A and B are shown apart, each in its own frame.
Chain A
Amino acid sequence: MTTAARQRAPVTAGRVVSGWQAAMLVVEGFWTWYRRSWRATLISSVVQPLLILLAFGVVFGSLVPTSAATGGVPYLDYLAPALLAMAAVQNAAVESTWPIQSRFKWERTYLAMVATPITSGQVLAGQLLWIAFRLAFSGAAYLVVIALFGGIAGWGAPLSLVFATLCGMAFAAPVVALAASVQHEGNAFNALFRFVVLPMTLFSGTYFPISQLPVWGQVLAWVSPLWHGTELARGAALGTLAPLPALGHVAYLAALLGAGTLLARWRFAKRLEV
């Protein structure tokens, strides 16, 4: 290498970006991949909740009389916003398990990122922002399809999308922390899906009010982020959201998101910083 080249190198390569800019560079990296392969995610993230809505909301709903249990609205209207929250949690679970592990272990994308001026905390921020974007995007696609069928009306729908995304992130952050700690594939994620995600989607008031569960089931539902997300999304869509409970649900989800982020930040630093 000539002396001139060695002197020039730092000038061209050493452009240090600010914190948020760095996180957005991480997001841009994921977006570049997603732009080419979004079709592959469409079936699991959008078609699946729509099929559930058709089966339970429309077909099963024809057997359900409108009553106090359905909040005084047809079963389809009762179910649609809850499925938005459920899809957000399911997509969050998928996005924050195997892909995260793969970026540590197989693709080693994170290791490549921290070899640049981007820090491990910025990588995590970019990753979480990207998951939030994915959840919002899939949820918006689901809402557009329902709106075309006349399933939602009014301005409550975008608000329930915001709540559903918050709910998904409240679950994603701790799971990202878990995925950053898991060294081997095998039992951990399968157990998470079977013993946490699946029961959560069934016992969190999506299909029926949790007051129909026994007391232990209700206690479990209070812990579940999906129940809080469902209450918020449904309340916003049906216009029955009271300010004080809403504040409580948002506070719980925000606390979970914050705690999960701190935990994940610790795990990312542990794994990426030498």
Chain B
Amino acid sequence: MSVLTPPDVGDRLPGPGRGPLLRILPAGRYAGRSRVLVERSAMVSRRVWLTIVSGFFEPLFFLLALGQGLGAMVGGSLTGPDGTELTYAAFIAPGLLAASAMNGAVYDSTFNIFFKFRYAKLYDAMLATPLGPVDIAVGEIAWALIRGGLYAAGFLSVMLALGLITSAWAILALPAALLVAFAFAAVGMAATTYMRSWQDFDLVQLVVLPMFLFSTTFFPLSVYPRPVQIVVECLPLYHAIELMRGLTSGAVGFGLLGHLAYFLVMAAIGVVVASRRLATLLLR
């Protein structure tokens, strides 16, 4: 059978001049051209620029409304990660940053990917070119990260302007937001490959919304009884919020490395599952 290699496969075979990733991965799965997917996404987004821009305003509305109004209801301040008092707006801002990284990554990697995969048949068309499933996975995730990075940078600038950042460590909140978004996008994409119809996306809502509401975005962990605290401490968004809150308030310690490790593991699992599933679904 190996004699019957289609002529175009020669293009995809790893040659000596290409990088190690090209030699490790099975032939035909990666052509090293995921940047063309990013280019396509950028072109498409020019037509829906309002939708893209509006993503920046969502956490901002939450911050302006709840930071002001709810803050007054709880007496103005809450206890931050290292025991110091934070104003309520400074308390929820890093939480909203983490939550918007999660929301953006999850919706992009579930709804959008599912539409392109199932209805637009975009990936089938791409696979008819030298692109492989790994190019697709890397390209789509890279675009999601570029978008997420712009939102995070914008939101951090607003926090700075409103005086909600009290530490220079906050500059690291940007790469941290990207890692969080990457991990959520990878897991979201892996989950999408198991979706059967739009009805299954209610399950995505059912995971994301409670996580947004209960993972200490709007109140400290201490409001829960201990058993509930343990459950909340297992949730990924909790770790993202702890990471952001530590960085923007300057409560930096070795504990933050633990949160970081959580997302590295989550991202690795997501990428492995997503690319395997995409390969089986697309290259049947």
Residues of A at the B interface (CB closer than 8 Å) are 40, 43-44, 47-48, 51-52, 54-56, 59-60, 62-65, 69-70, 75, 186-187, 190-191, 194-195, 198-199, 202-203, 207-209, 212-214
Contacts and interface: CB of A to CB of B under 8 A. Distances in A.
Which of B48, B69, B70, B210 counts the most A-chain CB atoms under 10 A from its CB? B69
B199 interface: yes
Contacts of A191: 50-51, 54
Interface of B: 47-48, 50-51, 54-55, 57-58, 61-62, 65-66, 68-70, 72-75, 78, 199, 202, 205-206, 209-210, 213-214, 218-219, 223-224
B279 to A, nearest CB: 31
Contacts of A187: 48, 50-51
Main secondary structure of the interface of B (DSSP, over half): helix
A59 B61 contact: no
Given A51-B213, A198-B58, 12 more contacts: A43-B206, A48-B205, A60-B219, A63-B78, A186-B48, A190-B51, A191-B50, A194-B54, A202-B62, A207-B66, A213-B65, A213-B69
Contacts of A199: 61, 65
Contacts, number: 89
Contacts of A47: 206
B66 A202 contact: yes
Given A52-B213, A56-B218, A191-B51, A213 B206 contact: no
Contacts of B205: 43-44, 48
Closest 8 A/B residue pairs (Cβ): A208-B69, A55-B213, A202-B65, A194-B54, A187-B50, A190-B51, A43-B202, A212-B69
A93 to B, nearest CB: 15
A208 B71 CA distance: 10
Contacts of B54: 190-191, 194-195
B51 to A, nearest CB: 4
A201 to B, nearest CB: 9
B202 A190 contact: no
A60 B214 CA distance: 10
A104 B57 CA distance: 31
25 contacts: A43-B205, A47-B206, A51-B209, A51-B213, A52-B213, A55-B213, A59-B214, A59-B223, A60-B218, A63-B74, A63-B78, A69-B72, A69-B73, A186-B47, A194-B51, A194-B54, A194-B57, A195-B54, A198-B61, A202-B66, A207-B70, A208-B69, A208-B70, A208-B72, A209-B69
A119 to B, nearest CB: 33
Nearest to B63: A202
Which of B57, B65, B223 counts the most A-chain CB atoms under 10 A from its CB? B65
Main secondary structure of the interface of A (DSSP, over half): helix
Nearest to A40: B199
Contact of B214 (A55, A190, A213): A55
A186 B219 CA distance: 36
A253 B219 CA distance: 34
Contacts of B68: 212-214
A202 B69 CA distance: 10
Contacts of B223: 59-60, 62-63
A40 B209 contact: no
Nearest to B205: A43
A209 B74 CA distance: 13
Contacts of A214: 68
A51 B69 CA distance: 20
A40 B202 contact: yes
A106 B33 CA distance: 36
Nearest to A48: B209
A138 to B, nearest CB: 15
Nearest to A37: B199
Nearest to B203: A43
Contacts of B210: 51, 55
A188 to B, nearest CB: 9
Given A51-B210, A59-B224, A194-B58, A208 B51 contact: no
A214 B246 CA distance: 30
B199 A212 contact: no
B61 A202 contact: yes
Nearest to A78: B73
Nearest to A203: B65
A197 to B, nearest CB: 11
Contacts of B66: 202, 207
Given A40-B202, A56-B218, A202-B62, A190 B69 contact: no
A46 to B, nearest CB: 12
A228 to B, nearest CB: 18
A22 to B, nearest CB: 32
Nearest to A205: B69
Contacts of B209: 48, 51
A180 B166 CA distance: 49
Contacts of A54: 213
A56 B213 CA distance: 8
A63 B219 contact: yes
B29 to A, nearest CB: 34
